[in-house]
Amino acid sequence: MEQRSYNQFCATARTLDIVGERWTLLLIRELLTGPKRFGDLQKSLRGLGTGLLSARLKQLERDGLARKITLPAPARTPAYALTEAGEELGPAVMALAGWGMKWAMGERRESETFNPGWSVLGLRACFVPEASAGLRATYEFRVGDEIFHADIDDGTVETLHGPAQHPDVVIETTEDVLVDMAAGTAGLGEALKNGAATAEGDTELIKQLGNLFVWPATKERH
């Protein structure tokens, strides 16, 4: 598959030559939260056919953004991981996510898929560093079969798939609540109050949740 080019000697154009093809940045998004097997990527990116997924992954390898690895025991299966160059696209992807929260979201369309695991990056995008100054805590989130957690350390956050070893707070909710939060029609604090979400653990840390992760108000572009 021939890679198209803007044919401009410009850093922005050269970057878009590499990551501007459809699905490429979404593959980067998936790999930013850790190595993924081919099947994992297929599951998360419904609508992306097997052939095109293979082509995009091969292109990421050729462009030096991703590489093949073997997952450690007990899995020992082939997977894909970002290279250093791929990892450094993280801030750009997060900036796009932050812009999208403010200017591109709204109600979910009937044709749109949703994966609770995308909240792993969503938490990073709406994290408020100033609110966590001097704070060290781990929050675990359980949404159906999906489990992920956020490690907060004095103004920084790391969000990862899977359970935390020693969570200070465990929040449990449903996919529908996450969709409402992403649409800006509900917040986690409201969900905790009306029972749509539950939280167990350190009471003071539960109270701070609403200040640590703030979804920006959606605005109209017109």
pLDDT of res. 198: 94
- pLDDT at position 43 is 92
List pLDDT tens digits, range 116-163: 999 999 999 999 999 999 999 999 999 989 999 999 999 999 999 999
Confidence of residue 1 (pLDDT cuts 50, 70, 90): low
Beta-bridge partners for 139:
150, 169
Residue 186: per-residue pLDDT? 77
pLDDT attached to residue 184: 77
**SS3 for 30?**
helix
Can you tell me the mean pLDDT for 175-204? 88
Q: How far apart are CA 51 and CA 150, in angstroms?
A: 34
Q: Kindly state the average pLDDT of the residues 185-194.
A: 82
> pTM for the whole thing?
0.89
- Domains contained in the chain, CATH given: 11-88 (1.10.10.10), 116-212 (3.30.1050.10)
* Signed CA dihedral, 42, 162, 217, 189: sign only: positive
For residues 13 and 19, what is the distance between their CA atoms, to the nearest angstrom?
A: 10
CB 133 within 8 A of CB 155: yes
Mean pLDDT of the chain: 92
pLDDT at 25: 97
| pLDDT in the model for residue 2 | 64
Which tokens is 149 given? 């957690």
Average pLDDT, integer, range 3-8: 89
**Rounded (to 5) percent helix, strand, coil in the chain:** 45, 20, 35
**Residue pLDDT, tens place only, 14-39:** 999 999 999 999 999 999 999 999 99
How confident is residue 187, by pLDDT bands cut at 50, 70 and 90?
confident
